[in-house]
Amino acid sequence: MASPEVQTVADVRALRDARRTGGTNVPALVRAVLSAMRMTLVNLFRKPVTVHYPTTQRPYPDRYRGLLALVYEEDTGEEACIGCRLCEFVCPPAVIKVEIQKGEKRNYAKAFTLELYACEFCELCVQVCPTDAIVMMKSFDMATSDRRELLLDKDRLHTIGLQHEQSWATGNRLRDMQGPPKLAKTAAPKKVPPPAAATPSAAPKEGAQP
């Protein structure tokens, strides 16, 4: 694969030597060297940008995509997850596994496992969730020496949800932000909306139904 057909070694050398400027401009040289050294000296007296990490915490922005968690409904205190498995289907690396448990008024998730060590933190599961059950936290501190601790089951996910601060993004907020402008755009609906088609004409009905 060696022989270059378009440019030969001699061509390279010729091109390189043609660019060489003859002679050295000593004052310009000295000035350039001192200018570079002055730049480092200026930075010597600037405040460092690094902080002492565990003692100084960084303020995380509102939309930070950190650890995943399951949350409870605000008004009833029940688990918000209805076991619909939409997050399981949308997850690109398929780290979520859900088992549905049917109930009289609403469904629950019997088992919910999330393999955090393979999670991409892409927020797609948050986006599709119809009940805002799975959310991301404003924290990522879960370094551990045992990978099994990162296989999160439902209880662990609920615990994480109570321990840290939740970020802004929930399913309904993201969907409201992305779609064409709808009528109901303010707060996320508190009840479980009926699984209607995602057409704008369904929007007024959603807000009206109890």
Partner 1 sequence: MSPAATPARVELDYAGSERLTMNMGPQHPSAHGVFRAVLTLEGETVIDVEAVIGYLHRCHEKLAETLTYAQYPSIASKTDYVAAMTSEFAYVRAAETIGKIEVPKRAEYLRVLVSELQRVASHLLWLGTWCMDMGGALGGGATIFLYTIRERELILDLFESLVGARLLYGFFQVGGVRYDLPDGWATACRETVDVLEGRISEYERMLEDNPFFMARAEGVGVISRELAEEVGISGPLLRGSGVAYDLRRADPYSAYADFDFRVPVESSGDCLARYRVRMVEFRESLKIVRQVLDTLPEGPVSSRPGLKSVAQTRIPQGEAYARIEGPRGEVGCYLIADGKAKPYRMKWRGASFSNLAVLPHIIPGHKVSDVVAIMGSVDPVFGEVDR
Partner 2 sequence: MPEWLLPVIAPFIVLNAIIGIVTYVTLLERKFAARMQSRIGPYRVGPHGLLQPIADAVKLMMKEDIVPDAADRPVYNLAPIVFLAPCMFIFATIPFAPGLGVADLNIGILFFLAISAMEIVGLFMAGWGSNNKYALLSAMRAVNQVISYDLPFIFSALTPVLLAGSLRLSDIAAAQDGLWFVFYPVIGQLAFIFFIVSTVAAENRAPFDILEAESELVAGFRVEYSGMKFALIQLGEYAHILGASFLGALLFLGAWSGPGPEWLGPAWFLLKAMFIFLLVTWVRWSFVRIRVDQILALSWKALLPMTLLLLIATAFVVVWRHSGVA
Q: Which residues bind partner 1 (CB under 8 A)?
A: 1-2, 4, 6-7, 9-13, 15-21, 24, 28-29, 31-33, 35-36, 39-40, 43, 49, 61-65, 86, 89-92, 120-124, 127-128, 130, 136, 167, 169, 174-181, 198-200
104-111-132-123 Cα dihedral, nearest 10 degrees = -150
Return the one option of partner 1, partner 2, none that residue 207 interacts with (CB less than 5 to 8 A, by type): none
Look-up of token digits 């936290």? 137
Return the one option of partner 1, partner 2, none that residue 143 interacts with (CB less than 5 to 8 A, by type): none
Q: Which stretch binds partner 2 (CB under 8 A): 38-46, 73-81, 119-127, 130-138?
A: 38-46
Which one of 28, 36, 183, 208 is in contact with partner 2 (CB under 8 A)? 36
Task: Report residue 46 as tokens.
Answer: 């600037």
Specify the amino acid at residue 15.
L
Which one of 12, 14, 15, 41 is in contact with partner 2 (CB under 8 A)? 41
Spatial separation of the C-alpha atoms in residues 97 and 146, rounded to whole Å: 21
Q: How far is CA 119 from the centre of its chain?
A: 10
Q: How many CA atoms lie within 13 A of 168 on its CB side?
A: 10
Q: Does 37 bind partner 2 (CB under 8 A)?
A: yes
